[in-house]
Each structure stands twice: as structure tokens, then as C-alpha cells.
Structure 1
Amino acid sequence: MTTPLLEVEDLRTVFHTARGDVRAVDGVSFTLDAGETLGLVGESGSGKSVLGRTVMGLVSNGPTTTVTGTVRIGGRDVHALRPAQRRRLWGPEIAMVFQDPMTSLNPVKRIGTHLTETLRLHRRCSRAEATGRAVDLLRQVGIPEPARRLRQYPHELSGGMRQRVVIAMALACDPRLLVADEPTTALDVTVQKQILDLLAALVADRGMAMVLVSHDLGAVAGRTERVQVMYAGRTVESGATGSVFTEPRHPYSDALLGSIPQMKDPPHTRLRTIEGHPPDMTRPPPGCRFGPRCPRADDRCREVLPGLAALPGAAGVPDPPRQVACHHPIELEGLMSRGR
């Protein structure tokens, strides 16, 4: 049995603030094999981006932060490494595409500098070799006139081109794992599709693993093999993407999917929303985090925090990859009756 490329076990990230401790990531576990893409979905504030940064090792123990649990990449515990060792891991082993390319690119450095300094640090190549590799990377991500772009500054490029530059930077050292954190934020719909298709093609061509963080369920649906639905720092449902999206078993997953506008709906149909608000993470509810917003909640839900548990499949056969953290998961018969 081969070891997964990425192993995350009982990961917890706590920020210590003046208002109290914020459990941004609270006991998340998953594995990821080479060549596989995992989607992390949920509302804003559910802990997706903090999880991605903690997996990267960008969030670690300090005066205002406590990280527990393990993150192993190729069998190495990221948070057990010294800072210098962790920096050597970034690039060749794991890389990240950040949400906003305008803030993740240095506005006073040319595009060429962003790319070549990474290559020269990790690949120990000459300036000429790094420049040639940078031109090739920009060409791979679909940027026209790549040699000219190297001399430009970030503000001279469009949002879509800046995002492509960030992707090129992440791919510069051929990482084994890519964390894409909302890679299409603030881009128009056409460019969003181009960026997502580009990432999918690069993962397929290079055999990388990818964690795709997004609140866009449509983006995740066609580009991931597995999905984890997060709410208030915890995983509430996980499984094969097609299974979760067609047969959501957690009320929150069902509510998320139900809030997507449907083409079959008549004009002026009122949009469906999830009632209430996400909890204050300095004072989360004692039981299920989704309990105050859940129409299925009872006294047990309000008192006991449910853990992830495997559910039987459609034929009554246990399906270990399909897990739900709910005291009253939705039955398949209920889904069928609602036309899913």
C-alpha cells in the first residue's frame, strides 16, 4: 500500500485574540494521493483558506497562534521542520496560488524578478537559465509575448494575466502538491473558466496533486475527484464529488447546493438562502455548529458535537469514503422525493 502524498490528521489552528480564542480549523483530517484533486468548499469564514495556509506551513505556532495535529508531505511532518527546512519545501514540494494576485505580487518588482529569484534559489541555475525557464513558464500558462512581460510590473497586466503569473510562480519548481486558494477571485466569468481549465490541464500533465479551495460549487463540481464541505472550521461532509453533489447527506451541504440558482426555475424565482449566520468562532455553540441554522436540529444537536462517521451507500453497503458529521443525516429516500 502506497503512502499518500499529503496526510492531514486532526489539524487545529487557533488564533488568540483579545475577544478570545478563534478555532479557525478545528480537527480536520484528510489524505491526498499524487494526481488527485480535492475540493474544499463552504461559506466565507468556514476555515478553508486558513486550512490551506496551515497545510503549507505558512501558519505555525507563535505568540498569537497555536497549531496542533500533523501535516505530512511525502512522509515529512511540515510543522516539525525548522523554518529554513520549511522554506526549502516551498517550491519543489508544495506551492500555493493565492486569492488576490495584486497583493501577492510585489508591486515594485518586475514579473521576471518574481519568477527568476524562485528558480535561482531552488534550482541553483544561472540568470540566463532562469530567464529562459521564466519565459517558458509564462508561455505554458498562456501569456502572450512572454519575453516582453518579464520586463513589466504587476500593475501593467490585467487581473487574468496577473493570476496566470501567480500560477507560473507556483509551478516554477515543479511542485508535487499545489494549493489553489480561490484562484479565480474577482475575475470575470470567461477568465475564471480559462484559469480553472488551465489548472486542471497542468495537474493532469504534471501528475501533481491539488487542493482547490473555493466557494464556487460549480468550479469544484467538474474539476475534483473528492470534496470536503467545511463549516465553522470543521468538516461536515466528505466523499466523492459526484456523490456529495447529487446526494448531499448533511443539511448544510444540502442547503449550499439548494442555494444555487437553477436554469429550470421560472423568471423572478426568489433565490434560496441559508437562514441565519455562521457562528462567532470565539463563542461557538456547544453542540453542532450548524445547529442554530438547521431545520432538523433537536436537543441532542444543540448539546453534543457530532463527529465524522461513515454512512451506508444507496444499496445499504458501508461506504467508508463517504463521511458525514450529523446526528440526523438526510436519508437517500428524502433526496429522491425532492428530485435530486
Structure 2
Amino acid sequence: MSEPLLDVEDLRTTFHTPRGDVHAVDGVSLRLEAGRTLGVVGESGSGKSVLGRTVMGLVSSGPGVTVSGRVSLAGQDVHALAPAERRRLWGPRVAMVFQDPMTSLNPVKRVGRHIDEVLRLHLRLGRREARERTVGLLRQVGIPEPERRAGQYPHELSGGMRQRVVIAAALACGPDLLIADEPTTALDVTVQRQILDLVASLSRRSGMAVVLISHDLAAVGGRADRVAVMYGGRLVESAPTSRVFGAPRHPYTGALLASAPRLSAAPHSRLPTIEGRPPDPADPPPGCRFAPRCPRAEAVCRGGAPPLLDLAPVGGHPHEVACRLPLEAESTEVGHGR
């Protein structure tokens, strides 16, 4: 395997609240090579977004929060940088697409300004050149009439168009790493596919690495090279996409896949669900955090946090699972779409 562009080691993000410490990210380690896509999946509240923001450097130790561990981008420790140095990374080296394009765009700033400001700040382009590049970027992400759209305000665009503007701003400086946090939230299915196909196409053409954060398994199934499954702030399974979808080893991963709707299901049949509720991040259960909801759980599961172990490497790619009673390595009927 090649040297990773992104190397995260034992990352922990803890928020100190009146109810106690909230371990939003609790000991996550992962690697990502240039030009590859990592899908990060899990239920709401599993720590996916906080992981992305911490990797980006948007969450750092200060009043009310403690961050530990190491985030290395092309060998450079992101968290060791001074705030001013870290800001210089945002745009040229690493960029992020946030969940809600309406709140991540300034409502009183024209669409074009969101992009040409990035170009002028980081690439030192003149006003005219930045304007031309902005129009080109809007055209590249599939926005019709880019010259006219650049002069409009965010509320004049549809949700899909706004998300394309956010992507254009993120890609303006040609980053090495793009973190896409639920980039298709609240968009219709057709627009979702267009947005995800756009990100995948740009990644292939430029060699950009992508971290695709989503609760939608189908969204990452046909686009990620590797999938990391999070639960309760921890990584519970990490493997090549085909292995996660074809032969999941963690009971939580298997339950997520079983909960996905299937075209083969009988009409009006009940959708399988995962019983119980996700753990309280301020008061998690001892041992495996999925144990209270897991039908396979035994006393050993509650005795201590299971380590993330490589159970079955495939072609040199590890299949890591944090479970004392993993599922059998058998192929399932669950597929993944593109």
C-alpha cells in the first residue's frame, strides 16, 4: 500500500458539558491514500461530523473541548500548527463541504463572492482573473448560466444548485483532500446522484482524496474504496467496500445493512429496525457500546472495550472489526448500488 495522504492516529474529541464529558470521537484511527475515497457511515450522533471537523482542524482544544491524537496530512501534523498556519491549509490542501448549503453560504453575499474570495486570498489572483475562474468553476460543477448565477444570492438558487456552489468553493484551490459531510442532505434522489457523481468524477480527474460522510449506505456503496463504520464515537468496522457490504463482521454493520429497504421485499412488509437507542455520549455503557442493542451480546461484551483487530485481510487490505463475537465471514445478499 502507498503512503497515506491522511493518517489519523487515536483521535479523541471530548466536549466538557454540565452533564459530564461527551466523548464525541473516542480513539479513531484511519488512513487514506491520494485519489481514494473513504466512506464514513453510522447513525446520527455516532460522531461522523465531529470526526470530519476535527480532522479538518475546525475543532481544537480550548475552553470546553479537549482534542488529542494525531492528524497528519501528507506528513504534516495539522493540530501542531498555529491557527494562522492551519487556516492556510484550508482551501489549497484540505477543504470541506458542509451538510446544509443554506447555512454554510452567507445569505447577504452573492454566489460568486463565495468563490472568488477564496481564489484571491489563497491564489493571489486579481479581481478579473478570479471572476473568470469563478464562472469556470460554476460551469464545471454543472450550474447553467454561470455568469448570471454568480451575481445571484443563495436564496435565489435551489438546494441542489446551492450545494454545487459549496462544492465549487471547496474545489476552487484544487485541494488534496475533500471532506464531504452529508453533501446530499435534503436533496431529491436525482440531485443526490448528480452531486455524488460529480464529486467522484472530480476525484478521478484530479487525484483528490475524499472522505464521504453519510448515514446513507447506498450513497457510499458504489463510490467509496473503503468504508469505516462508526458507533458511539468509536470505529467498529473498517474494510474494503465490497467486504463491508458483502460480508460484514460487526453485528452493528450487519444490522445497518439489514435495515436498508430492498426491492425484493414483499409489498407492505415491515422494514427491519435496530432495537433500542444509540448510547448517551455523556454516559456510555461499559464495554462494547453496541452491546445493549446487540442480540449476540454476552457478558464478555460488557467487560471492556473490544480492540479494533484485523480479522481477515483481503489482498493486503485489512478488515478491522471491534467485536468479541463477530459475525461469520459469510457472503450476504445485501448489495450496494451506484
The answer to whether TM tops 0.5 is: yes
Question: Offset at 1:318?
Answer: 9.6
- CA distance, structure 2, for counterparts of residue 146 and residue 330 of structure 1: 51
- Superimposed CA distance per residue, residues 217-266 of structure 1 (whole angstroms, 9 cap, x where no aligned partner): 00100000000000000000000001111101100000000001111111
Q: Does the 8 Å CA contact 2:257/2:334 hold for their aligned counterparts?
A: no
Question: Offset at 1:35?
Answer: 0.4
- Superimposed CA distance per residue, residues 187-230 of structure 1 (whole angstroms, 9 cap, x where no aligned partner): 01110010011011010111100000000100100000000000
Please state if 1:332 is matched with 2:325: no
Q: Does the 8 Å CA contact 1:310/1:319 hold for their aligned counterparts?
A: no
Q: Does the 8 Å CA contact 1:37/1:211 hold for their aligned counterparts?
A: yes
What residue ranges of structure 1 are gaps of 5+ in the alignment?
A: none
- Superimposed CA distance per residue, residues 155-174 of structure 1 (whole angstroms, 9 cap, x where no aligned partner): 00000000000000000000
2:202 corresponding residue in structure 1: 202
Please state if 1:233 is matched with 2:233: yes
Q: Partner letter of residue 78 of structure 2?
A: V
Question: Offset at 1:291?
Answer: 0.4
1:296 corresponding residue in structure 2: 296
Please state if 1:101 is matched with 2:101: yes
- CA distance, structure 2, for counterparts of residue 264 and residue 148 of structure 1: 46
- Superimposed CA distance per residue, residues 269-325 of structure 1 (whole angstroms, 9 cap, x where no aligned partner): 111000000011111011100000000101110121101001136xxx896610100
Q: Partner letter of residue 304 of structure 2?
A: V
Instruction: Pick closer, same or farther for the CA change 1:30–1:274 going to 2, 3 Å.
Output: same
Please state if 1:123 is matched with 2:123: yes
Q: Does the 8 Å CA contact 1:3/1:75 hold for their aligned counterparts?
A: no
- CA distance, structure 1, for counterparts of residue 133 and residue 82 of structure 2: 29
Q: Does the 8 Å CA contact 1:6/1:31 hold for their aligned counterparts?
A: yes
**What TM-score do the two structures reach when normalised by structure 2?**
0.97
Q: Partner letter of residue 265 of structure 1?
A: A
Q: Does the 8 Å CA contact 1:277/1:293 hold for their aligned counterparts?
A: yes
Please state if 1:77 is matched with 2:77: yes
Q: Partner letter of residue 222 of structure 1?
A: G
- Specify which of 307, 320, 323 is matched with residue 320 of structure 2: 323
Instruction: Pick closer, same or farther for the CA change 1:246–1:137 going to 2, 3 Å.
Output: same
- CA distance, structure 1, for counterparts of residue 271 and residue 225 of structure 2: 28
* SS of match in other structure, 2:311: strand
Question: Offset at 1:2?
Answer: 4.7
2:9 corresponding residue in structure 1: 9
Q: Does the 8 Å CA contact 2:246/2:334 hold for their aligned counterparts?
A: no
What are the residue-to-residue correspondences of 1:1-340 with 2, within 5 Å? Answer: 2-312=2-312, 321-333=318-330
State the percentage of identical aligned residues. Answer: 68
Q: Does the 8 Å CA contact 1:40/1:230 hold for their aligned counterparts?
A: yes
* SS of match in other structure, 2:12: strand
- CA distance, structure 2, for counterparts of residue 271 and residue 339 of structure 1: 14
- CA distance, structure 2, for counterparts of residue 59 and residue 339 of structure 1: 36
Q: Partner letter of residue 325 of structure 2?
A: H
Q: Partner letter of residue 281 of structure 1?
A: P
- CA distance, structure 2, for counterparts of residue 101 and residue 268 of structure 1: 35
Q: Does the 8 Å CA contact 2:2/2:33 hold for their aligned counterparts?
A: no
Count of residue pairs brought into register by the alignment: 335
Shift >4 Å, 4+ stretches:
317-320
- Superimposed CA distance per residue, residues 3-22 of structure 1 (whole angstroms, 9 cap, x where no aligned partner): 31100000000001110000
- Superimposed CA distance per residue, residues 33-78 of structure 1 (whole angstroms, 9 cap, x where no aligned partner): 1100000000000000000000000000110110000001011111
Q: Partner letter of residue 214 of structure 1?
A: S
* SS of match in other structure, 1:297: coil
Q: Does the 8 Å CA contact 1:310/1:320 hold for their aligned counterparts?
A: no
Q: Partner letter of residue 268 of structure 2?
A: H
Q: Does the 8 Å CA contact 1:311/1:318 hold for their aligned counterparts?
A: no
- CA distance, structure 2, for counterparts of residue 213 and residue 280 of structure 1: 21
- CA distance, structure 2, for counterparts of residue 112 and residue 122 of structure 1: 16
Question: Offset at 1:332?
Answer: 2.3
- CA distance, structure 1, for counterparts of residue 40 and residue 12 of structure 2: 16
Q: Partner letter of residue 240 of structure 1?
A: P
* SS of match in other structure, 1:332: coil
- CA distance, structure 2, for counterparts of residue 318 and residue 52 of structure 1: 28
**What TM-score do the two structures reach when normalised by structure 1?**
0.96
